[in-house]
Structure 1
Amino acid sequence: MDQPGDLLPAISDLDFSIPSDIAAGAEDALVEISRFDAELAASLPRADGELAPLAVVLLRTESASSSQIEGVTAGAKALAIATLNESSGQNARMVAANVEAMQKAIDLADDLSTDSILAAHLALMHDQAYAHPGRLRDGQVWIGGGPTPHTATFVPPRRERVPALMDDLVRFCRRTDIPVLTQVSIAHAQFETIHPFNDGNGRTGRTLVHAMLRRSGVTRRLTVPVSAGLLTDTDAYFAALGSYRDGDPAPIISQFSRASFAAVGNGRRLVSDLTGIYAEWQQILPSRQGSAARRVLPHLLSQPAVTVDHIQKHLEVSQPAARRAVDQLVEAGVLKQISTGKRDRVWIARDVITALDDFATRSGRRG
């Protein structure tokens, strides 16, 4: 059993002695994250004056992976449909909520505070009343071990300590004298040890990771799929959290370094797959440049399930123009209809769905 949570120290003013090889590995991983983030700008041509949305794809896969660590799985097809607010399973809707929560990381980066962390939790858990969305827990919780805390794997601090510990964590996150990935790793482990919410701690804690990376300037295009890297070895990740609670931060820093390299490698492969798909689409689609069908192609990389109404609103075109675009994309083999009937029909870009599911499989998704 880890040390009792009530022995958890404040960390805002602590000095951490990190072995040189662990610190060097974290710095190398940070350089790789920054390099990959910069590569996204050159991955695809601009569409309608804006960067083609590969960063949004990575955001979605990161959100999905973040949920999968806690046993919530949803395939790319179900998630894409859930994003349309069409009929979908509970798991897909939960992962879709994670996308909104990860978007909150942008706000966290600008104003990192307990309140902004509460806002991210509210976005993540807004339809799950038992979790008290957007509120710190008001009772004792424990991790593992059955119906009582006496046999638990870990018992977090008493609720009375949580507000002060969260304020201390925010002060730690704002420090500028600690190498970034080392700081991110420790902050994440401290957050998970405080366990400030009734539920959704893991997902909110991983949102904090990306807020800190963005705040530090390491990432500018929202997110690199670090949670997907953590997913490749969840046993080691949870063991590293246990070591942190026993007073040794080195293993969690190593896990984040490893996860970062794994995530970047996997992310680069996803970018390559999607770039190839986009290039092939441009070749096989006979529509002229500037047509609605061609204008929707980059959007399909980040939203591979669409309806006529969705395309109409996204492109700001008439319904007949949107319907004509769908017909042309179906004829070219870019889209395939997956629902029947005349109303609320949904089409998917199967190649993108396959690329996203392959990404998740490489990440070690289970279920």
Structure 2
Amino acid sequence: MPYNPPFSITPTILKQVAEISESIGRLSARIEQTQVLRLRRANRIRTIQGSLAIEGNTLSEAQITAILDGKRIIAPPKEVLEVQNALKAYEFLAKWQYSSEQDLLHAHQVLMAGLLTDAGQYRQGGVGVMSGDTVVHMAPGADQVPRLMKDLLGWLKQTDLPALISSCVFHYEFEFIHPFADGNGRMGRLWQTLILSQWLPAFMDIPVESLIHQHQGEYYQAIRASTAKTDCAPFIEFMLGIIAKTLHEVQNTTETELAVESEKMRVEEQVKTRVKTPEQILMLLTKQPNLTLVEIAAHLGKSTSTIERAVAKLKQQNKLAFHGPKKGGYWQVLGE
């Protein structure tokens, strides 16, 4: 009989899914309007900083940016390695399939390389979920992990639930199983991002982990509440709330970026219109000396007669000369 994780769809969950779907639609449209590479880079850095901070990594966004740029920083080697591994993992993200056990193990190997002797392998001993110094959940025995993960990935592959919900269910179940000796938290968050990004690529660069870090206590509380109820609805509601808040923040940031770009274009256009036609002609012919008068007019959005008058004046002022035959000749911009 196929495995089905214990969860219920509450009215809150349905409302959250509808709101997120509407929000991500608006955000995707805005992202398509412009290539805000600085924004994407900043969000990736926030994502990594937030996810690792939950696990105790103290590096700031500025330090992670420096590592991304190949610069050396003064910091604990272990924390630097965690960041380097996370950066590599996000480079692989688009290549992994979320229902593949092989890809899941590879992802853990990449994330935990040099940090864990059995990176990329399921744990061989007992483990618990910690919140500070408190054990909030004792995971199933190590001998059960391969079967439980096979069942969970099998369910994920065949479920027809919306990705917003199935990703939350997987995240909770993954943390419940706690299949690895270490790195389960960052793996669960990474894999939820993978599931969501294969539904909508925009999620590849939306820093959900950053907000989870800000609400870390509620994150663990949602796990405890779901475990106590044998129903991960509390965790689904928590995660959907976090996703909705993150989308709102990113949307506001994107709108700001777009406004800045729009203002920049407006100023450039004003500067362009203040430059007189003769100066525009000289600047253009410096770069493209083989243009005809008709082509110059087309480039500058002027009439051919206007260009002819301006060119004649430039010749009189010894600022412009034409060499060669009428067809196939070239312009020379003369010095002052």
Query: TM above 0.5, one fold?
Result: yes
1:120 corresponds in structure 2 to 107
Shift of 1:73: 3.0
Q: Which amino acid aligns with 1:35?
A: R
- 1:270 pairs with 242, 253, 256, which one? 253
Structure 2: state its 5+ residue gaps.
269-282, 285-336
Contact 2:43 2:206 in 1 (8 A): yes
- CA distance in 1 between counterparts of 2:125 and 2:155 reads 25
Is 1:41 aligned to residue 27 of structure 2? no
Q: Check if 1:229 corresponds to 2:217.
A: no
Q: Point out the structure with the larger helix share.
A: 2
Q: Secondary structure at the match of 1:128?
A: coil
Task: State how far apart, in whole Å, the 2-side matches of 1:173 and 1:35 are.
Answer: 27
Q: Distance in 2 between matches of 1:278 and 1:73?
A: 33
Q: Give the match for residue 356 of structure 1.
A: none
| 1:239-318 paired onto structure 2 within 5 Å | 239-246=221-228, 247-272=230-255, 274-275=257-258
Q: 1:92 to 1:43 in 2, by over 3 A?
A: farther
1:142 aligns to 2:128 (yes or no): yes
Q: Note if 1:69 corresponds to 2:54.
A: yes
Distance 1:73 1:17, change over 3 A: same
Could you tell me how far 1:63 is from its partner in structure 2? 1.6
Question: Residues of 2 paired with 1:126 and 1:278: CA distance?
Answer: 40
> Which of 94, 100, 107 is the equivalent residue of 1:106?
94
2:4 maps to 13
Query: CA–CA distance in 2 between the matches of 1:58 and 1:43?
Result: 16
Distance 1:14 1:260 in 2: 21
SS at match of 2:253: helix
Structure 1 residues 301-332: Cα deviation after superposition (integer angstroms, max 9, x where no partner): xxxxxxxxxxxxxxxxxxxxxxxxxxxxxxxx
C-alpha RMSD of the superposition: 3.1
* Pair 1:72–1:251, CA change in 2 (3 A): same
Whether the 8 Å contact between 1:18 and 1:250 is mirrored in structure 2 is yes
Please report how far the alpha carbon of residue 243 of structure 1 lies from its aligned counterpart in structure 2 after TM superposition.
Answer: 1.7
C-alpha contact (below 8 Å) 1:30/1:218 kept by paired residues:
no
Q: Distance in 1 between matches of 2:83 and 2:178?
A: 20
User: 8 Å contact 1:36–1:268 — kept in the other structure?
Assistant: yes
2:200 aligned partner: 218
Indicate if the aligned counterparts of 1:145 and 1:153 stay in contact, CA closer than 8 A.
yes
* CA 25–101 in structure 1, closer or farther in 2 if over 3 Å, else same: same
Is 1:224–1:267's contact at 8 Å kept on the other side of the alignment?
Answer: yes
Equivalent of 1:173 in 152, 156, 160: 156
Alpha-carbon contact 2:172-2:235 (below 8 Å) kept: yes
Other-structure match for 1:183: 166
Q: Is the 8 A contact 2:5 2:169 kept in 1?
A: no
Contact in 2 for aligned 1:97/1:123 (Cα 8 Å): yes
Q: Which runs of 5+ in 1 are unaligned?
A: 1-9, 46-51, 290-367
Is the 2:23–2:247 contact (alpha carbons within 8 Å) kept by the matching residues of 1?
yes
Give the residue type in structure 2 aligned to 1:118. L
Report what 1:86 is aligned to.
71
Out of 167, 175, 199, the residue aligned to residue 192 of structure 1 is 175
Contact residue 108 and residue 119 of structure 2 kept, 8 A: yes
| CA deviations over 1:329-350 (Å, ceiling 9, x no partner) | xxxxxxxxxxxxxxxxxxxxxx
Cα displacement string for residues 119-148 of structure 1 (whole angstroms, at most 9, x for unaligned residues): 111111112134x2211111111234999x
Q: Percent identity?
A: 23
Quickly say closer, same or farther: Cα 1:273–1:69, change in 2 above 3 A.
farther
The answer on whether the counterparts of 1:33 and 1:219 sit within 8 Å (CA) in structure 2 is no
CA separation of 1:64 and 1:144: change in aligned 2, threshold 3 A: closer
Higher relative contact order (CA 8 A, sep 6+): 1
Q: Which whole-Å CA distance do the structure 2 matches of 1:146 and 1:221 have between them?
A: 29
Residue 13 of structure 2 contacts residue 237 of structure 2 at CA under 8 Å; is this kept in 1?
A: yes
C-alpha distance in 2 between matches for 1:273 and 1:80: 21
| Distance in structure 1 (CA, Å) of the matches to 2:65 and 2:132 | 36
Shift of 1:210: 1.2
Distance 1:73 1:60 in 2: 14
Q: Report the TM-score, using the length of structure 2 for normalisation.
A: 0.69
The superposition leaves residues 51-108 of structure 1 with CA deviations (integer Å, 9 ceiling, x where unpaired) of x464343222212211122222322221121123332223344224212223332222
The secondary structure found in structure 1 opposite 2:224 is helix
The amino acid that maps onto 1:229 is L
SS in 2 for 1:239: helix
TM value normalised by structure 1: 0.64
Q: Which amino acid aligns with 1:21?
A: T
Q: Counterparts of 1:251 and 1:77 in 2: how far apart (Å)?
A: 34
Q: How many residues align?
A: 266
